[in-house]
Amino acid sequence: MTDSNARSVEVTRLGPGRWQATNPRGGRIDFGDGETDSFTPVELLLAAIGGCSAIDVDMITGKRATADEFTVRVSGDKIRDEHGNRMTDLQAVFDLVFPEGAAGDKARSVLARAIEQSRDRLCTVSRTVTVASPVEMRPA
């Protein structure tokens, strides 16, 4: 893996049930164990799937027209089975409204294909979940 391919975040404990992820550019996001209104790690996974695909779809459709409304609802079921805790039945539902007219028609005409491209090839997050990359965990 080259430096241009490497991605990383650092996760630091802020207190009981409270954590913060920091990226190399200095961005920060707080999260927790579900006892407060902070996102949980599972909710961050869902947000990452929706966000990654939203960016892909917006880049493709946005070449034709900017959506007046753009929402992605991502959901799934958290289960525990012989494989341990995990998410199943993951879904991302795109709800976009484009302006009336030729540009909006062009954007609407590529929407389904843009979603398919994100799902099948472009979105690194959902592709990693789908293809299932092992995660190495070890002490420093």
Q: Look up the CATH architecture of domain 40-131.
A: 2-Layer Sandwich (3.30)
Instruction: Give yes or no for a contact between 20 and 14, defined as CB atoms under 8 angstroms apart.
Output: yes
Cα–Cα distance, 63 to 66 (Å, whole number)? 8
Q: How far apart are CA 86 and CA 126, in angstroms?
A: 14
pLDDT score, position 2? 60
> What pTM was computed for the model?
0.92
Q: What is the CA radius of gyration of the chain?
A: 18
Q: Give the pLDDT means over successive 10-residue stretches in the chain (140 positions).
A: 84 96 97 95 98 98 98 98 96 98 98 98 96 92
